[in-house]
Chain A
Amino acid sequence: EPEVTQTPSHQVTQMGQEVILRCVPISNHLYFYWYRQILGQKVEFLVSFYNNEISEKSEIFDDQFSVERPDGSNFTLKIRSTKLEDSAMYFCASRAEENTIYFGEGSWLTVV
């Protein structure tokens, strides 16, 4: 069964550093998403991406964050100048034309 894959599974970074989280969506999917989940809290929507541009973003997704689809297969989330409160599990997700969103297993980011 096709799946969304994410790398790295776990990353530790120093406060102020930049991180890039990578995702390979399911191959025929056109809509891409990033969500995050702070430990013990809800899964929160960050951003959706379609046709090479952001289609919607939440209040969390400020200028510190950016997304990119650098080639035909990868979808990345960049966090500039990380803060302690950015420590969370980040989930990538994708969707075809039908309405089911499929999630990856997540990238656990720890900012120290």
Chain B
Amino acid sequence: DAKTTQPPSMDCAEGRAANLPCNHSTISGNEYVYWYRQIHSQGPQYIIHGLKNNETNEMASLIITEDRKSSTLILPHATLRDTAVYYCIAAFTGNQFYFGTGTSLTVIP
């Protein structure tokens, strides 16, 4: 599975969009990009995933660059409950996930 690189921490004002970047420059053509988050040692929570196209669901949007070497998770209107560690994972279908250190997002009132 490709290695991913994320900034260790970010702040975002409540109500603003939170844009969390992820670099996966060695990703292969069949590896998906997944995003999970972990709120204070709870179980990792699935957010969204994609292969090539941008994706949107009720939680977030995922923007993947055309060369697939990086992506951005967008939380459109961050709330205090979005404070968590966000993990970007590149993995083949069916493989287990390897978690990095993620980005610790703090939403500020």
Q: A: which residues have CB within 8 A of B? A: 4, 31, 33, 35, 37, 39, 42-45, 48, 56, 89, 91, 93, 99-106
Contacts and interface: CB of A to CB of B under 8 A. Distances in A.
Contacts of B38: 43
Given A91-B44, A101-B46, A105-B42, A42 B94 contact: no
Interface in B25-82: 32, 34, 36, 38, 41-46, 49
B82 to A, nearest CB: 18
Contact of A44 (B49, B93, B99): B99
Contacts of A99: 32, 49, 91, 93-94
28 contacts: A31-B94, A33-B96, A37-B41, A43-B38, A43-B44, A43-B99, A44-B99, A45-B96, A45-B97, A45-B99, A56-B96, A89-B41, A91-B43, A91-B44, A99-B94, A100-B34, A100-B46, A100-B49, A101-B97, A102-B46, A103-B44, A103-B45, A103-B46, A104-B43, A105-B43, A106-B41, A106-B42, A106-B43
A108 B43 CA distance: 11
A38 to B, nearest CB: 11
Interface residues of B, number: 21
A99 B36 CA distance: 13
Interface of B: 32, 34, 36, 38, 41-46, 49, 87, 91, 93-94, 96-101
The dominant DSSP class at the A interface is strand
The dominant DSSP class at the B interface is loop
Contact of A48 (B42, B93, B96): B96
A103 B100 contact: no
Nearest to B101: A42
Closest 3 CB pairs of A and B: A103-B43, A43-B99, A99-B93
B44 to A, nearest CB: 5
Among A37, A91, A102, A103, find the residue whose CB has the most chain B CB atoms closer than 10 A.
Answer: A103
A33 B44 CA distance: 13
A84 B87 CA distance: 28
